[in-house]
Structure 1
Amino acid sequence: MIGRWAALALTLAALWVPLATLSAEAPVVLVADPWCPHTCDPAEGSEGYMIEIAREAFGLSGIQVIYKTEGWSRAMKDVRLGRADGAVGALFDEAPDLVTHAEPLGMQVNVLVTLGDDSWRFDGWETLAGRRVGAVSSYSYSAEIDAWLKDHPAEVQMISGSDAALRNLKKLMAGRIDVMLDDEAVVGDAVARLNSPRSVRIAGRLPGGSLHIALNPKRGERLAQILNRNIRALRASGRLATILERYDLSDWGRKTKH
């Protein structure tokens, strides 16, 4: 009798493994700071185009996305500690210790912004001498920009935390800084939200880079493969372009092919 029960138990144990593989994969927890339109605060009516693309890309493989907003430094820390699967909005080489998918989820274009009645224009790093520059302490803009910011602490006013673009824009309007450094689309969103009677202008553009999700290594390789495959599928179907159009953006992947 005992032998029969043991045999039955072994049979059930053997069946359990393939049955378990049929269960749904655990949700992907994504974190980002409000950096609209790339990543936004859902409480304000939008998640941001990168979150929408990630949600649909993972959805094609039957994986649910849980999205939370927090400061960028904390977001990266949570990914490294395994409290989240990925931080959305990282440059490709921003976090070498984490896994980065190859297919971009967005694109960054760095701009230097002044008040509309300021005639100053960026024409090399030396032209920033004497200008008070507002930037975000936890962000990576590009290797060149990051190096300049680090080497010129007297000219740079760093802020940290969420809604940094809007806060720096307010500092610019109040005359507390002369130049604001941020992504072009982010500046445009902040200007629209602030709705100030004072105008601003782009005084210079600097190279940025492609934007990705920095993934925790525990699941990172598999999730990166899913993102690479399904972002391409969203582009081929036209769905990616549809998402971007809602944010008045165009598909960087399509543009680079012309």
Structure 2
Amino acid sequence: MIETLSSAESADLVRLWRCRQTLSPDDMGAMYRIVGEALGACNPPELQVLGEGRQELVAQFIYVKVLRLNADPADPGEAEERAGHSAPSTAFALCAYFRRYLIDCTRASAFRRKLSIGDQITEAQLEDEVGASEELDGCLAEHGLSVQRVQLAARAFIAGLPEPERLLLCEGFGKEAEGGLSGIASRHAIASYHYRAGRLGLVHKREGLTADYAKTRLGGWLQQTLGIAIEADNMAAILQVFKILGAEASYV
């Protein structure tokens, strides 16, 4: 049974929704609480199809679709997205919106299997995707890169990150971190960890695919520093770079 909102919560939801990209931290917290509680009993079948933690999917939904923290106002699709969804005032409307988001995620599953960017990228996942490193000696060379050059670039990238993002990357990228990203954030008291992880590129706007991932710190580093376009044809090189980055992160 879907939760119901009180009249005060419904009014606050509509008010906050209409100015959701200019909210104060306190208002963001209020919005997160209202939406999170409203979705407490919302269990669409797509949750089982995706096979991911429900709490994390709800957090991603709020981050991407509710607070729209990674939206680009200059993107023509952004105005279209805003116009396409009026402010919800009921838990039922929020649940329907959440289900549409999950459907978008399932439609992008083929790409996600190819480019495994989620809460964590593990060494085993990378091996499964690209095979042993000796099979990929030429994939970096095709982009004018060598293992040594990528290693140096990875060290510089890690060193240039703000400390919270550096902790999330070094403890959550390339290895299994206890408790995932939320566990890292709890151990180091990292505020707004999901927003930071999204901006970094550890949490990805799944239905946005390559265009949105290019706007993250990791996506920008791949394209601007290493010169690798985020395209399906370059997945072998990208995953090899991620494998090197994961190894370097584990040394910090």
Q: TM-score range by the shorter chain?
A: under 0.3
Bigger CA radius of gyration: 1
Query: Which structure shows the higher strand fraction?
Result: 1
TM-score, normalised on structure 1?
Answer: 0.23
Query: Which structure shows the higher helix fraction?
Result: 2
TM-score, normalised on structure 2?
Answer: 0.24
- Greater RCO structure (CA 8 Å; 6+ sep): 1
